[in-house]
Amino acid sequence: MAKITLDNLAHSYLPNPAHENHYALKELNHDWIDGEAYALLGASGCGKSTLLNIISGLLQPSQGRILFNDRDVTHAPTAERNIAQVFQFPVVYDTMTVRDNLAFPLRNRGADAGYVAERVQQIAQMIGMEDELNRKARGLTADAKQKISLGRGMVREDVNALLFDEPLTVIDPHMKWELRTQLKSLHHEFGHTMIYVTHDQTEALTFADKVVVMYDGRVVQIGTPQELFERPAHTFVGYFIGSPGMNLFDAEITGSTAQVAGTTVDLGAGYAPKGGKTQLGVRPEFIRLNGSGDGLPAKVTRVEDVGRHKIIRLDVAGQPVSAIAEEGATVPSENTAIRFDPAGINVYADDWRVRAEEEAA
Amino acid sequence: MNKTVNQKAWFLVLPVLILVAFSAVIPLMTVVNYSVQDTFGRNEFFWAGLEWFSDMLDSDRMWDALGRQLIFSGVILAIEIPLGIFVALNMPKSGFWASFCLVLMSLPLLIPWNVVGTIWQIFGRVDIGLLGYTLDKLGITYNYTQDITAAWITVVVMDVWHWTSLVALLAYAGLQSIPDAYYQAAKIDQASRWAVFRYIELPKMAGVLMIAILLRFMDSFMIYTEPFVVTGGGPGNATTFLSIDLVKMAIGQFDLGPAAAFSLMYFLVILLISWVFYTVMVNLDKRDGV
């Protein structure tokens, strides 16, 4: 168990990166606090797996250092780092039995046979494969194989960190939920530092204490699920987290009001964005629809009933906007307009969030 | 679906039947014919029954040749398979040097058997051959025409030089099909180099290795040209393998009957061994296929 520090870390797959765009992982400084569960969230190809492989030592970074409990391990081989990592697709040793597969990492470290047997039994119970311990791993279904991979990742108790690279992609939904719960309880029990890569926001938000959102090789925000929801630091976070994602409106900002498509909007606080393209980000939860023409004129294009609430698709000045309404709410058909709840307005300049003046002070 | 019955369709199989008849069935039957008859020349034959077969089974000559043959195949397999795997494991995985190695290694495979024999025949000569001359100057007695050990070493080394590439190329193909994730997982699991080989590389290579063993076994079991060119089966009968002995018997001594009986038994042994390999391979595939 360890605190993992990334110091000025960056990585490029090209031999001589000259431009910032050549980096798959852009310069990054971050401490992964010992014993916390992190989710690394982002679209495919944003550098999540690269970062994970650098931490586990499968990849040497082009620049910067990695420290485990303040000890430099940048060039230490994977085995020395004592890390467990589970990959997106199952990796099992075909010729071994399920039992030997689970015991493999322990035996490689020369663990005592009695302890190995006991630990393998525990893990088998956790992944629900006690009855299949003696069969060969060859010929099992993909999700059974992935459960073995997960089990192999969890079998060592003394690892510095547990890394998961989208491990539940091939698992069916019911088992997914159960395994996620198991992982959480494992975390509570042993307090390993866990980093869980995913592009599924539900998975990230339910699993982690802290969510790290990556976009285009850069960490754009690190925060609790609530922070990500209420105060997205980057428009990508707003778009990526939440269903539907945050609405963005081009706006001109003067103090505590903004001009959006010719209508004045009250921001509830003063902002002083420094140049660039300014936008308002408002989550669908904070958009109120009325039938009295009060606010931004909007046209209802579609209403989707998704169970507990309704998603209303709107056309505001030629731009699609989503709003969420209570299940029983009536959707006005004429003279429709929207207003924003000031508590839910975020201001962005060139895609990065601008803090309100009193917040900054 | 209704099947259309059209017996004339059998005619479509005819070309294949004719081809196989001329290429295999008729020649084989000629041999069968010789194996059960005797002749005193002048193209007069009379029935001999299974006499030649029982003669051959009693002859030390055939058993000796078979013994030498089995030792030869065993030795070259024991060298070429591990060596081929070792070479494949140490070849570059990609880039210019990978292609370079592949081309370099294919070269011996492209050389005709006869030429391989001639190359080694000259290479090993004490008077003009680089190898023979060097060894002689170093004070090592090496003369494959007189010394049995030297003859065997020459023939075995020649086969290893000629065919290890084949095993290496097949093993290399097997290794290339292993996804990176397996090696990464092994690193995470802190597996030793041996464990990586034993539990990842070897199982993934098992299929192609079976093919390599089969090919090398069959080919070495039937070897003729190279040792014939280098040693002519000598000194004495030391390197007279089954094919060489068979040719001596059939063409040298013109003993058609015994030679035919010999060929048929030779053929049956090869058929039997191929069948065993085939069964093992099919079972391997089945295990993989689930």
**pLDDT tens, position by position, B89-134:** 999 888 899 999 999 999 999 999 889 999 998 998 888 888 888 8
> Can you tell me the distance from the alpha carbon of B154 to that of B146, in angstroms, rounded to the nearest whole number?
12
**Residues B253-262, mean pLDDT to the nearest whole number:** 83
Number of neighbouring beta carbons within 10 Å of residue A118: 11
**Among A91, A116, A140, the residue to mutate for chain B (most B Cβ within 10 A):** A91
For A11, list phi and psi in degrees, rounded to 5: -145, 140
For residue B161, the model assigns a pLDDT of: 93
Does A328 score more than 80 pLDDT?
no
Count the neighbouring beta carbons within 10 Å of the beta carbon of residue A115: 11
From chain B, pick out residues whose CB is under 8 angstroms from the CB of A94.
203
* Chain B residues closer than 8 Å to A165 by CB: none
Mean local confidence (pLDDT), A263-290: 85
Are the Cβ atoms of A87 and B190 closer than 8 angstroms?
Answer: no
Domain residue extents for chain B:
59-289
Q: What length is written for chain B?
A: 290
- What is the per-residue pLDDT for B109? 92
Q: Name the band, by pLDDT with cuts 50, 70 and 90, for residue B287.
A: low
pLDDT class for B289, splitting at 50, 70, 90?
very low
Q: What are residue A347's phi and psi, to 5 degrees?
A: -110, 135
Residues of chain A positioned with their CB less than 8 A from the CB of B199: 93, 95-96, 104
Spatial distance between the Cα atoms of A286 and A324, rounded to a whole number of angstroms: 8
ipTM: 0.76
Alpha-carbon A113 to chain mean position: 38
- Consecutive H or E run containing B38: strand B37-39
DSSP state of B167: H
Q: What is the pLDDT of residue B288?
A: 53
CATH code: domain B59-289 is: 1.10.3720.10
For residues A326-339, average pLDDT: 82
Cβ pair B288:A96 closer than 8 A: no
Average pLDDT value over all residues in chain B: 87
| Residues found in chain A | 361
Please, are residues A324 and A287 in contact by the beta-carbon 8 Å criterion?
A: yes
From residue B15, alpha-carbon distances to B7, B10, B22, B216 in Å are: 16, 10, 11, 32
Q: What is the distance between the alpha carbons of residues A78 and A56, in angstroms, rounded to a whole number?
A: 6
How far is it, in rounded angstroms, from Cα A35 to Cα A14?
34
B→A contacts (Cβ < 8 Å), by residue, are 179, 181-182, 184-185, 187-192, 195, 199-200, 203, 287-288, 290
Which among A126-135, A243-252, A284-293, B75-84 has the top mean pLDDT? B75-84
Cβ within 8 Å, pair B187-A57: yes
Residue of A nearest to B196 (CA): A93
* B189·A108 Cβ contact <8 A: yes
Give A144→chain B minimum CA distance, Å.
Answer: 14
Give residue A306's identity as a one-letter amino acid code. Answer: V
* pLDDT at A284 exceeding the cut of 70: yes
Model confidence band, residue A343 (pLDDT cutoffs 50, 70, 90)? confident
- Give the model's confidence band at B290: pLDDT under 50 very low, under 70 low, under 90 confident, else very high: very low
Residues of A in contact with B203 (CB under 8 A): 93-95
Residues from chain B contacting residue A153 (CB–CB below 8 Å)? 188
B241 pLDDT higher than 80: yes
Q: Decide if pLDDT at B243 tops 70.
A: yes
User: Which of B187, B189, B286 has the most A C-beta neighbours within 10 Å, making it the best mutation to test the interface with A?
Assistant: B189
Lowest mean pLDDT among A323-327, B105-109, B264-268: A323-327
Q: What is the pLDDT of residues A152-165, one digit of tens each?
A: 988 888 888 889 88
A268-282, B83-97, B272-286: which is most confident: B83-97
CB contact (8 A) between residue A104 and residue B288: no
Structural domains of chain A in order of their starting residue, each with its CATH number: 4-240 (3.40.50.300), 247-360 (2.40.50.140)
Alpha helices in B200-255 (DSSP H): 202-221, 225-230, 242-247
Contact between A296 and A316 under an 8 Å Cβ cutoff? The reply is: yes
Query: Model confidence over A31-69: pLDDT tens digits?
Result: 888 888 888 888 877 888 888 888 888 888 888 888 888
Q: Nearest chain B Cα to A88, which residue?
A: B181
Q: Which of B187, B190, B199 is the best mutation test for A, with the most CBs of A within 10 A?
A: B190
Is the Cβ pair B185, A87 closer than 8 Å?
yes
pLDDT at residue B74 is higher than 70: yes
Specify the pLDDT at position B73: 93
